[in-house]
A and B are shown apart, each in its own frame.
Chain A
Amino acid sequence: MAAEGDKFVYDPERNYDDATLAQIRVMENEIASQNNIVSERLSMQNLKDEYADADDVFKLKIKDLESRYHYMRRTRGDGNCFYRAFGFACLEMFLADSKNLPRFKDVAQKSRDELVSLGFPQFTIEDFHESFMDVIEKIEKQCSVTELSDIFNNQGLSDYIVVYLRLLVSGYLQKEAEFFVNFIEGERTVKEFCNQEVEPMGKESDHIHIIALTSTLGIPVRVEYMDRVDSSKCTQHNFPEDSQPSIVLLYRPGHYDILYSR
Chain B
Amino acid sequence: MSTPARRRLMRDFKRLQEDPPAGVSGAPTDNNIMLWNAVIFGPHDTPFEDGTFKLTIEFTEEYPNKPPTVRFVSKMFHPNVYADGSICLDILQNRWSPTYDVSAILTSIQSLLHDPNPNSPANNEAAQLYRENRREYEKKVAAIVQESWNDDDDEED
B97 proximity list for chain A (CB < 8 A): 195, 199-200
Q: Is the CB of A12 within 8 A of B121?
A: yes
B100 proximity list for chain A (CB < 8 A): 121, 124
A199 proximity list for chain B (CB < 8 A): 97-99
Chain B interface secondary structure, helix, strand, loop or mixed?
loop
Q: Is the CB of A125 within 8 A of B123?
A: no
A50, CB-defined interface residue at 8 Å: no
B: number of interface residues (CB 8 Å)? 31
A219, CB-defined interface residue at 8 Å: no
Chain A interface secondary structure, helix, strand, loop or mixed?
helix
Given the contacts A121-B104, A201-B66, A201-B98, A14 and B82 also touching, CB distance less than 8 Å: yes
Q: Is the CB of B66 within 8 A of A12?
A: no
| Bound: A200/B62 CA distance, A | 13
Q: Is the CB of A200 within 8 A of B61?
A: no
Q: Is the CB of B123 within 8 A of A121?
A: no
A205, CB-defined interface residue at 8 Å: no
Q: Is the CB of A121 within 8 A of B99?
A: yes
B20 proximity list for chain A (CB < 8 A): none
A: number of interface residues (CB 8 Å)? 28
Q: Is the CB of A167 within 8 A of B65?
A: no
A183, CB-defined interface residue at 8 Å: no
| Bound: A124/B4 CA distance, A | 12
B29, CB-defined interface residue at 8 Å: no
B82 proximity list for chain A (CB < 8 A): 13-15
Residue of A12, A157, A196 near B124 (CB, 8 A) is A12
Chain A residues with CB under 8 Å of chain B are: 12-15, 17-18, 21, 120-121, 123-125, 127-128, 131, 155-157, 159-160, 162-163, 167, 195-196, 199-201
Name 12 interchain pairs, CB-CB below 8 A, sorted by A.
A13-B82, A15-B84, A124-B100, A128-B99, A155-B61, A156-B3, A156-B62, A159-B62, A159-B65, A163-B65, A200-B95, A201-B98
